[in-house]
């Protein structure tokens, strides 16, 4: 007899304690990272009332500082190796399509501008006497900002780009001649090109992009250098994977130290409260509405799967307040959780961490209009559009370095925006890349070697065969007679001699065999 629906046992929607324990055990690193953020916030607020000395605060922040330095140390080699290895395995046509789609995913700053115009946080009545009434400033030209971006795209020295970038500075000067009427020397500002500290990520990306595309033109002739960058990238990712187990301790110290270093801002809280709320509202609206809707319209896929797959990277970005530090974790989450092609992830994420600054562009647009409203300056529609454009240009090439608490939210949004872009591009180009790989033996060999490296890095079992030699067996093309499949297998010395002989024959060094 069929049981009526009313008397059927209802399924418990809430997870049981056993399911929670199982999830935490399977996602131990993610659980520890989330707990580290909570512990860091609690520890920071509790210790603020203890009147700690400056030396104690420095010691609390010290482990997090070391953790951040090691993560930032990995940024440059990871970008260089990942971009070259990814683009060297693709055709120039596919690289161009991927670049156009990435740049075409335009950063939407209108969210912040609309909110700041509606909320109007910059009320001129809150401008008190303690605020600076007169500031000597220069008219920063939008053209100079744009030209700085272009100059940084083409650095004169790629080694110098690792630690310096070009920026237009305004230097005060006094005229040589004295004013006869008031006996003063007229002063002013003049533009000057200067190299300021900071990694020129945009220039490095442009150089690596061109380098990787040119390597792809050589095909199998460049297999040795492609193998080098593939293995080099695997080594960097393995180091980052081991380093991430120290992330909980580093994040606790970073958040607690950041809270302890904050001064008492009770006097300015009333002035900046509406501004901070406007920024947070814009970031939340951009995260909950704008980015998921654009992603849904382009891919017809659930945006929550991207958020779920990028949880580890988002928590790391919030804890470190640095998109550059979260770059290796973002690559790992995209490839392992969202199954994005590693070539797309390796190209889109470094580029997106530089030009797809959703949170920064929104933040700067709100800041400019807030200051204008604070000084009772009404902006026209053309000026608002100009602010939107300049905020987008100003966010290009910014270094992914830590800042205040508000920056933790916009850094997480930058990382999430990059993930949406990468997954959307994988939706359009993923099948095309697979079809191209079927007809390209060289790409298939590289992909097999990458899979071998990934399996070797996760396995501790030893083998009689040398892993280096087994990764190089794919050099012999399928049309040549293979001696490795004979009943009497060759040892690694014979395999090495055979490969060396084949390489000499290919290069024409052996005339008579």
User: Helix axis angle, 223-243 relative to 327-336, nearest 10°?
Assistant: 100
Segment 79-96 shows an average pLDDT of 83
pLDDT band at 458 (very low <50, low <70, confident <90, very high): low
Confidence band for 239, pLDDT divided at 50, 70 and 90? confident
Please name which of 314, 295, 376, 289 lies closest in space to residue 110, comparing C-alpha atoms. 289
pLDDT at 150: 85
For 202, the token pair is 């945009």
Task: Identify the pLDDT of residue 87.
Answer: 86
**pTM beyond 0.95, yes or no:** no
**In this predicted model, which residue has the larger pLDDT, 495 or 151?**
151
Q: What's 444-490 look like in SS3? A: HHHHHHHHHHHHHHCCCCCCCCCHHHHHHHHHCCCCCCCCCCCCCCC
pLDDT at 178: 59
How far is it, in rounded angstroms, from Cα 62 to Cα 179?
A: 54
**Does the pLDDT at position 400 exceed 80?**
no
Kindly indicate the confidence band of residue 361, based on its pLDDT and cuts at 50, 70 and 90. Answer: low
What tokens were used for 300?
Answer: 């017809």
pLDDT, tens digit (0-9, with 9 covering 90-100), for 199-232: 888 888 889 888 988 988 887 888 888 889 888 8
For residue 405, report the phi and psi dihedrals to the nearest 5 degrees: -70, -35
pLDDT(478) > 50: no
Once rounded to an integer, what is the mean pLDDT over residues 356-385?
64
- Give me the pLDDT at residue 59, please: 93
- What tokens were used for 217? 């033109």
User: What are the tens digits of pLDDT across the range 272-315?
Assistant: 677 677 777 777 877 888 788 888 888 889 999 999 999 988 98
Where does 286-404 have alpha helices with state H?
291-299, 304-309, 311-320, 327-336, 342-355, 358-374, 381-394
Q: What is the mean pLDDT of the chain?
A: 72
468 pLDDT higher than 50 = no
- For the chain, domains (ranges, CATH) are 17-163+198-441 (1.10.3860.10), 483-513 (no CATH)
For residue 443, which of 98, 96, 77, 85 has the smallest C-alpha distance? 85
Least confident of 79-88, 292-301, 386-395: 386-395
Distance in Å from the first CA to the final CA of the chain = 84
């Amino acid at each position: 007899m069929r049981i009526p629906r009313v008397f059927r046992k209802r399924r418990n929607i809430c997870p049981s304690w056993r399911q929670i324990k199982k999830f935490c055990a399977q996602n131990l690193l993610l659980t520890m990272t989330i707990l580290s953020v909570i512990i860091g916030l609690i520890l920071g607020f509790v210790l603020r009332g203890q009147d700690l000395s400056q030396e104690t605060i420095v010691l609390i922040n010290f482990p997090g500082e070391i953790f951040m330095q090691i993560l930032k140390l990995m940024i440059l080699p990871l970008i260089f190796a990942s971009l070259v290895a990814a683009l060297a395995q693709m055709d120039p046509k596919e690289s161009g399509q991927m670049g156009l789609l990435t740049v075409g995913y335009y950063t939407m700053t209108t969210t912040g501008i609309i909110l700041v115009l509606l909320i109007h946080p910059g009320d001129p009545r809150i401008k008190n006497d303690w605020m600076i009434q007169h500031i000597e400033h220069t008219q920063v030209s939008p053209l100079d900002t744009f030209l700085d971006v272009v100059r940084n795209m083409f650095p004169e020295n790629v080694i110098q780009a690792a630690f310096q970038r070009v920026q237009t500075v305004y230097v005060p000067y006094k005229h040589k001649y004295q004013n006869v009427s008031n006996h003063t020397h007229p002063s002013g500002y003049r533009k000057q090109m200067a190299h300021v500290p900071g990694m020129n990520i945009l220039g490095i990306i442009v150089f690596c992009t061109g380098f990787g595309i040119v390597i792809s033109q050589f095909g199998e002739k460049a297999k040795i250098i492609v193998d080098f960058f593939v293995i080099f990238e695997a080594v960097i990712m393995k180091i980052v994977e081991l380093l991430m187990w120290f992330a909980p301790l580093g994040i606790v110290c970073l958040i607690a130290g950041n809270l302890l270093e904050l001064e008492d801002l009770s006097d300015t809280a009333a002035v900046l409260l509406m501004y901070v709320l406007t920024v947070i509202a814009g970031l939340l609206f951009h995260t909950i509405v704008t980015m998921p809707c654009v992603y849904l319209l382009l891919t017809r896929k659930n945006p929550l799967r991207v958020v779920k797959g990028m949880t580890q990277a988002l928590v790391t970005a919030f804890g470190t307040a640095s998109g550059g530090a979260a770059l290796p974790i973002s690559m790992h989450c995209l490839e392992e959780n969202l199954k994005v092609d590693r070539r797309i992830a390796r190209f889109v994420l470094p580029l997106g961490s530089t030009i797809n600054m959703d949170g920064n562009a929104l933040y700067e647009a709100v800041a400019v209009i807030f200051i204008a409203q604070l000084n009772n300056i009404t902006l026209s529609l053309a000026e608002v559009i100009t602010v939107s454009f300049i905020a987008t240009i100003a966010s290009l090439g910014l270094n992914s370095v830590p800042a205040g608490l508000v920056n933790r939210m916009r850094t997480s949004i930058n990382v999430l925006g990059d993930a949406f872009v990468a997954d959307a591009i994988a939706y359009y180009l993923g099948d095309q890349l697979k079809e191209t790989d079927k007809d390209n033996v060289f790409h298939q060999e590289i992909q097999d070697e990458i899979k071998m490296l990934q399996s070797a890095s996760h396995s501790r079992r030893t083998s009689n065969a040398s892993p280096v030699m087994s990764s190089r067996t794919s050099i012999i093309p399928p049309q040549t007679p293979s001696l490795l499949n004979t009943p009497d297998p060759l040892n690694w010395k014979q395999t090495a001699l055979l490969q060396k002989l084949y390489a000499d024959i290919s290069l024409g060094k052996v005339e008579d065999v």
